[in-house]
Amino acid sequence: MTKRSCPNCGYKYSFIEYFKKNFLIKFTDTIWLCNDCGSELSFNPNRRIVLIIIGIALPIGINSIIREWLQSIGLSNNLSFLVYAIIAFIWFVIVFSHDKFILVKDSRKQAKHN
């Protein structure tokens, strides 16, 4: 199973499609239908916890260290905050681009049984 793809048919979601469809609606407990095969998909909850820790908690934890370093190279307080926010957002996008999906229900199999 590759990142951001349906485990049933292999349909690969682009990061933009993933972000619009899933991340902006809910952060956890989201179920949606695969665009290609109609299977019910959700996030891998264990991987999601790891991504939350790496993607959000780590940048928050090292915020003061990075901002102090940015100020030590001559950036003002406001500019160092802006640069840090941009770096944190890029980090967040990169980390969450590695999300994996799990199969909740396979609609094709369900339709065959009915």
Q: What are the 10-residue block averages of pLDDT along the chain, 114 residues in total?
A: 81 81 57 86 79 81 86 88 88 78 64 43
Alpha helices (runs of H) in 1-114, residue ranges in sequence order: 15-18, 45-52, 58-61, 63-72, 77-96, 107-113
Determine the Cα–Cα distance for residues 91 and 59; give it in Å rounded to an integer.
8
Cα-based distances in Å from 83 to 39, 88, 90, 100:
41, 9, 11, 29
Q: Which pLDDT score, from 0 to 100, does residue 3 have? A: 78
Name the pTM for this structure: 0.61
Q: Which pLDDT score, from 0 to 100, does residue 110 have? A: 44
- CA dihedral sign, ordered 87, 88, 93, 96: positive
Q: Which pLDDT score, from 0 to 100, does residue 112 have? A: 47
**How many CB atoms neighbour CB 48 within 10 A?**
19
